[in-house]
Amino acid sequence: MVDEVDEAIANIACIFHWPPSAYDDMDIIELSKWHHLALKRHQTNV
């Protein structure tokens, strides 16, 4: 699970340019939501 969380954070950071501190208060559901949006935005930009 840690690898998946790290990958989600990396993808979100890459798309939205958020600092590491932005994820400190996120639970797994919120992180998943932002990860989904980041992947969606990346796919529309390719």
Cβ count within 10 A of residue 4: 12
Q: Which amino acid is at 41?
A: R
Q: Which domain holds residue 10?
A: 2-45
Contact 14, 38 (CB under 8 A): yes
Q: How far apart are CA 5 and CA 32, in angstroms?
A: 9
Percent of residues, the chain, with pLDDT higher than 70: 96
pLDDT of residue 22: 96
Look at the pTM and tell me if it is higher than 0.95: no
pLDDT of residue 46: 63
Query: How many domains, the chain?
Result: 1
Asked if the model's pLDDT at residue 2 lies above 70, the reply is: yes
Contact 26, 34 (CB under 8 A): yes
For the chain, the average pLDDT equals 93
